[in-house]
Structure 1
Amino acid sequence: MIDNKVTWKQDRILSAHKGENPMVLVKMKSGFAVLGDTQFLPGYCVLLPSVKVDSLNDLNIKQRSEYLLDMSIIGDAINDVCKPKRINYSIYGNTDAFLHAHIFPRYDWEPEENIPKPVWLYAQEKWTDSRYLYSDDKHWVLKEKLKDKLNELIKQLY
């Protein structure tokens, strides 16, 4: 028997459409705002597209515009809820070869040596250690605040 916690991760977009991805915050015009699996930078989110494509360039101009706007709206919600110093936006697709955008809050309290560097250069434990991985016990309130703010922003925009 396959554990459901594993199966939703095997296809995050399909599981979001099915209502089985527990990290989904809200459905947006272009896709799904989801909380990041790790929260060593509180508020880290990902934008999954509605349709699975390899890259941003596989979307038509209207879809790209909606996707990039939705990405910035997630940044607005993180700014309001988490009060970071800034927001970093990243689209790679090298490891998970499908379009998805990372929205990282960056904070003044981060170690000085990490502040000028991309988040990917943080120690491996930040990405895998259970102390930093999302859990309802530690992150439920944050998840609900982000969800509420996103719903408010979406209502204002659309």
Structure 2
Amino acid sequence: MPKERATPFWQTHRIESALAGTNPMVLTALPGGFVALGDVQFLPGYCVLLPKRQVGSLNELSWSERADFLTSMAYVGDALLAVCHPQRINYDILGNTDEFLHAHIFPRYAWEPPERQKMPVWQYPAENWHDPETAYQPAKHAALRQQLKCYLDQHLA
């Protein structure tokens, strides 16, 4: 019988581990939250913005926290445009599966299949979200990670 692997703490407590500095996906902190690379990279550069405190929705933040979160989300989009050169950026705040505030920031590319280009990312087949070939891998994605971190750190200063 195959042995089940325990899920790492950071995968089930993303914000708590980001605050503790133990979330390995985090690139940097912005005024509105922590920028983390997505667990899958079938759209290279996919990022997630995690707030600096755990809340259920954007509406639970103060007005200034909301402004910081949304501005930081757009700033991640700027970094993706500069580093990855996509056609556009898609921003998603859903909260339907993971019941804590977080924003998905997806670069969208001209090389995507035409039938996918105008559809939400979530319409991609399930295997795209579980393919080991496109999963984040530290060695494989090191250059992308460094370029995004450099852009975010330099332009925030």
Output the TM-score relative to the length of structure 1: 0.94
- Contact 1:25–1:34 (8 Å) recurs in 2: yes
- Contact 1:73–1:153 (8 Å) recurs in 2: no
For 2:114, the equivalent position in structure 1 comes to 112
For the residue of structure 1 that corresponds to 2:115, the secondary structure is coil
Counterparts of 2:65 and 2:22 in 1: how far apart (Å)?
24
For the residue of structure 2 that corresponds to 1:54, the secondary structure is coil
For 1:36, the equivalent position in structure 2 comes to 38
Once the two structures are superposed, the pairs formed by residues 90-105 of structure 1 within 5 Å of their partners are: 90-105=92-107
For 1:75, the equivalent position in structure 2 comes to 77
For 2:52, the equivalent position in structure 1 comes to 50
Counterparts of 2:7 and 2:138 in 1: how far apart (Å)?
14
Counterparts of 1:153 and 1:36 in 2: how far apart (Å)?
21
Q: Displacement, 1:138?
A: 1.3
- Cα deviation code 1:21-41 (max 9, x no counterpart): 000000111210000000000
Match of 1:25 among 27, 30, 42: 27
Match of 2:145 among 130, 143, 146: 143
In the alignment of these two chains, the number of paired residues is 154
Counterparts of 2:92 and 2:8 in 1: how far apart (Å)?
25
- Cα deviation code 1:16-68 (max 9, x no counterpart): 11111000000111210000000000000000000100000111111100000
The runs of at least 4 aligned residues of structure 1 exceeding 6 Å deviation read: none
Q: Displacement, 1:4?
A: 8.2
For the residue of structure 2 that corresponds to 1:46, the secondary structure is strand
For the residue of structure 2 that corresponds to 1:88, the secondary structure is strand
Give the counterpart letter for 2:137 in structure 1: S
For 1:154, the equivalent position in structure 2 comes to 156
Q: Displacement, 1:154?
A: 1.1
Structure 2 runs not aligned, ≥5 long: none
- Cα deviation code 1:96-146 (max 9, x no counterpart): 000000000000000011011000010111101101100012111100100
Give the counterpart letter for 2:106 in structure 1: F
Output the TM-score relative to the length of structure 2: 0.95
* Percent identity between the two aligned chains: 51
Structure 1 runs not aligned, ≥5 long: none
